[in-house]
Structures are given as C-alpha cells and as structure tokens.
Chains A and B, each alone.
Chain A
C-alpha cells in the first residue's frame, strides 16, 4: 500500500498552539506553500506561482492532500472539496487560502 507511506508525519496539534491574526499577506501564504513543495521540485525549474502542483512536481496526490490539510490547520481555514478540485497552481491555492481567511 502506497497510501500511508507517502503521507508525511507532522505535528497534528499545530493549529491548537498557534494564534494567528486573520489578515495575512499573499507572500506569506506562498512561502508556506513553497516550503511544503520544495522537496518535490524537479530539475532546475524553480517553484513559482504558475507551477502546476500535480504536474510540474514529483508530489503524489496523497502528499498533496496532506499538504492541503496542513495548510488548512496552519491558516485555520477549511477549503470546500469542490474548491480544492478546481485548484491547479500555487497561485490558485494561495489565493483560495487568503480569500477564505478574509471571509472568516
């Protein structure tokens, strides 16, 4: 089973211990996303806002879901599954998180 092996183990309680203000800069979200994606970078191509997460990187779908969950915990948002299904790039993911934080 590949499933469990490829989910990285992180601190589950992170959202409980961090206190955050709602407003957040786009750069901050992007840098957090890039930190998650760095291990999956291919070749010399840098990760940018236009990077298509499931295509331009070596990350598999389960690791992506894991990252999304960690980002949800980190930024205290919940991304609806229909919205997640329409996200392709780093920019789209960052904008979604920022918009949800502003609305909350």
Chain B
C-alpha cells in the first residue's frame, strides 16, 4: 500500500505551528505519512502520521508511567526505522528530550562506537539509552558506567513498560525540542540545543517562499541519516510541518544501491530530495544499471547541502540523468548547520547551480565557488574580518548569522557556547563572501593558512598534489602550525600524505615529490609527513577529511617525517 501524496480533506498548513506535538497533531488528521523501503524497493512499513502519533502517545504514557521526569534526556540510536519515531515523538509527548545518535559503521568499529556513546551520554546527561535490538548489547556496555541511566536496550525494553493511564506532557513553545550532536565532534561532542521556537522558525523558512516553497502535491524522498540535522530536520520535521508523505531508504542501503533513491523519487513522483555532493557523485558512478522507466521529471527541488558543493559533480549527475527527465535547474544549493537548526540560505528556484570565480592567493589562482542564495527572512548574515569589521562584496571573511533559528547554546557547555555566540550572532566558523546579497562559502575559517600575509586554502595545496598525480584524491591533507618564530605570527605549512609505497627510498621520493608539487603550484615551502595507510587520515563523522584533527595528530607526534628529510618537524 502506497500512502497518498495529497490529503483530500485536510488543508496544507505550512509550518505555522508552535511545537512538534502541535505539528504531529495536525498532520495526523490527514492520510499522508512515512513509508520505509528495503534496498530492493519493497515496502517494509507504511505509517500514516496518524499512526505515528498514536504509537508515540502510547510510548509517552509508558515513559511517564516509568517515572521519567520532565526535561530528562533519552539517547536513541537514530537508525531509519519506525522505532526511532516511537522514541523521538514519544519523548515529545512525554516532555522528555530525545538525543539522536548515530549507529556504528565499519568493521572493527565497536570500541570507537562505545567510546562515542559514552561521550554522548556524558555530554547529554541522558537517563535512558535505547536503540534497535541489535545494538542492545552495545548500549548496555556504554551505559554500564553511568548510574544515571535507568533504562537501556532495544526498543522492546520501552514496549515492555506498562502503559499507565497518565496525562500526556507535550513539549510546548517555550521548551527545548531535542539535542543535536553536530558532525565532526566525536572527541568533544557539542550537543546543540534545538528549541521548539527556533525549530519552528527554521521550518517556516525551509518550507516558505524563500526556501522550498512547499505546495500541495509535494512528496519527499530521503536516504539521509536521522542523526544528522539535514536528515532529521530537513527530511522528517520539514515534511511533517507541511503534512507531506515521505519515502525512506536507509543510508546503508543508499550506499549499496544509490539508484534505489532515484527509483523511489521516480515511482512515487517525489518532488523534494536532498543530498550532499557525494551522494550525487555516488548515484552518477553507479548509474550503469539505470532502469529504462526511470522518470525524474517530477523532481522539482534537488537540494545540495552538508559539504562543500562541487559543481563538477552536479554537472555530471545532470548530464547522466537528463535522459531520465532530470532538470538541472532543479538543483538548489543550500547552506546551513545544526547551530541554526538546519538552514540559513537557499539559492533561488529554477536557477540551478550558479558559480562565481574568485581570484585567490594574491591573484595566483582562480577558484569556482557556488552561490548559495540569500539569508532566510527574519535572519541576518554578515561577513567579517578578523577585527570584527563587516566586509564588503567579494571580500572573504568569517560568516556570522543572527535570527530566530540560532541556538541558545550547546547543552551544558556555557564556555563553548560563549565562544561562538556573541550578542545574538553565531560565529559559523565558515569562510565566505557575499555577492549581490547571496552568500558564497569558500571553506572553514579554522583551516585557512596564512603565510607571510598570504591567504592559502589548504584545499589548493591538496589539489596541487592530487592533480600532479603524486597521490590520489583524499590521500593528502594540508594544515599550518606555528613556526619556530611564533611571536611574529609566522606559520609553517605541513602536508600529511598517506604513504602507499614501501621501502625507504620510495618514501623519500614521495615526500620530495609532494614538496615539489606544492612549491611549484603554490610557491610555498612545506614539511611533508608520511602517514601509514593503516593509520589513515582522520575524517569527520560525515566523511570529510578533518584538517584540524590531522593537525592535532601531528602536534601530538603521531606522524613522523621521513628519515633523511632536510627539514624535521619542530620538537
């Protein structure tokens, strides 16, 4: 049974609610809902919003009956499965705060995952830890050293609680909604406090005319993980706030068969779907088994967000799927982060990917960046220099945003919150510039390398090495450390490369090739450190190379310079 795309009786309301329980109460009056699909495209379960609400209220009565107090936190593994909905929305009706966390990925990842769970339990002060049955053992392991955790296990431990006849305690407009762990912070996780009010403001922006302008007949499809803001807010909260039907594939199944995502859009006549650039790349690379009847002409908003937007990748996707009716003007480059719930800017409808070419590095190089649109109504965006002065058009600086979507701070971390929030302005930590009122993101501020007053993008260094085919894409990472004369603010460039060579001679050749490539392309000297492939280069939880973690590893002495190198790492 496929859930209907339109509600026949219920009028579409566009995110004009005051809380998540209010949104779900309204959507439950219609026939639309959420369908979970298998990797082969079979329906695993189809839950109308009405049923999601009923199940959530049963869960809520169980949690209240078990004695959980208002405002307590419940950690829940955010796999794409109906149990996550029971836990997440159950908490909303029970006055509790869900803390969605990721599921383990990769072989041998148990210890790292348990470590992550413990850090998240500590950071959120959670009193319960629940997930899919398969993870019950891990949750028990992690919760073992937290006496505050009174309930842990698979969703069955919640279902086993008696449903008592107690009054619901729905979270209201003045309450928090949930705690969002942002990406790239496994070591010191910061839990963003998502408030009901900020979420409602952001949803109004996402679904309104400056955002995706949701209309009756829209239908969403998603493979994005629900522990990520783009998955949870973009592809659960936003469709719920507009009573859409929604079709899900798990992230794991998307990685296995990316074309299944496109099939869902085609078969259900989906109109809204998002992915970071790499998802479009993956779908393009595996397009060989593109079904003949694939029809993507229905897809009116193909959003991109979550990583640096790569116009070349999107161009290849559009060219590949044009014959299946894909319209490249459907692309909507977007910009945002968990600290503002999700979205800050959307590029205008019907324009596709537009780029601006900037001369960087004192005129030595040109780079193409994607225009991401204007800041949402009711919000402000400024680009400032290091001294805090607002910069003019096409001047690169740090991006700051203010407005009703901005978080009140990180949960239980006033100091970390003060570092990024000043006078209502959020320091996004991103670099960029404005052009005709639109924002152009160029990179992360903290990654920027400054040598002798020259701004150097680490991406440029990595790109130089890769294009000279010294090492392959993703095998090098560049960062800077304070030079020996750190009082003059001098920085030294360090490039860490994966040494996929054997023998001392091979290693030395590689190091000198890298240094040569950087010198030739960027005209800067660098120290090269070789990293054993078994150690790998650090990545963020979303799979991007983490330059800051590479730098931390380097400073901690984890990377050794090659023997006989003319320069050695500073002691």
Q: Answer whether A and B are interacting partners.
A: yes
Evaluate contact between B106 and A2: CB separation under 8 angstroms.
no
Taking a contact as CB atoms under 8 Å apart, the answer to whether A86 and B110 are in contact is: yes
- In the complex, which residues of chain A have a beta carbon less than 8 angstroms from the beta carbon of B276? 1
User: Do A2 and B545 touch (CB < 8 A)?
Assistant: yes
For chain B, give the interface size range.
35 or more
B107 touches A82 (CB 8 A): no
Query: Is B113 located at the chain interface by the 8 A CB criterion?
Result: yes
Query: A60 at interface (Cβ–Cβ under 8 A)?
Result: yes
Stretch binding the partner chain, chosen from B171-179, B198-206, B254-262: B254-262
Contact check, B137 vs A82: say whether CB atoms are below 8 A apart.
Answer: yes
Contact: A7 with B107, CB < 8 Å?
no
B282 part of interface (Cβ distance < 8 Å): yes
Query: A53, B108: Cβ atoms under 8 Å?
Result: yes
What is the bound-complex CA distance between A88 and B110, given in angstroms?
10
Write the chain B residue with the least CB distance to A43: B502
Query: CA separation between A2 and B281, bound complex, in Å?
Result: 11
Compute the total of residue contacts between A and B using a CB distance below 8 Å. 112
Q: A82-B138, A88-B108 are in contact. Are A62 and B543 (CB under 8 A)?
A: yes
Per-residue CB contact flags for chain B residues 102-132 toward chain A (1 = under 8 Å, else 0) read 0111111110010000000000000000000
Q: Contact check: which of A5, A80, A81 meets B105 at CB < 8 Å? A: A81
Please determine whether B533 and A58 come into contact, CB atoms closer than 8 angstroms: yes
In the assembled complex, the CB of B538 is this many whole angstroms from the nearest CB of chain A, namely 11
Residues of A within 8 Å of B310, CB to CB, are: 1
66-89 of chain A: CB within 8 A of chain B: 66, 68-69, 73, 80-82, 84-88
- B106 A42 Cβ-Cβ under 8 A: no
Number of interface residues of A (CB under 8 A): 38
Contacts of B536 in A (CB 8 A): 60-61
Of B9-17, B89-97, B284-292, the segment with at least 4 beta carbons within 8 Å of chain A is B284-292
Pick from B107, B252, B281, B289: contact of A4, CB under 8 Å: B281
Bound-state Cα–Cα, A3 to B137, Å: 29
Residues of A within 8 A of B281 (CB): 1, 3-5
Residues of B270-295 whose CB lies within 8 A of A: 276-279, 281-282, 285-286, 288-289
Are A12 and B259 within 8 A (Cβ)? yes
The minimal Cβ–Cβ distance linking A44 to chain B, given in whole angstroms, is 9
A65: Cβ under 8 A from any B Cβ: yes
A53: which of B107, B113, B277, B544 is its contact (CB, 8 Å)? B107
Which residues of B approach A to under 8 Å, CB–CB?
A: 103-110, 113, 134-135, 137-138, 252, 255-257, 259, 276-279, 281-282, 285-286, 288-289, 307-308, 310, 472-474, 498, 500, 502, 533-534, 536, 539, 543-545
Other A-B contacts than A3-B278, A57-B534, A65-B107, 9 sampled, CB-CB below 8 A, are A1-B281, A1-B308, A12-B286, A12-B289, A52-B108, A58-B533, A66-B255, A80-B134, A88-B107
Report the 10 A-B pairs with minimum CB-CB distance, sorted nearest first.
A2-B474, A58-B533, A4-B281, A85-B110, A3-B543, A85-B104, A1-B278, A3-B278, A4-B278, A87-B107
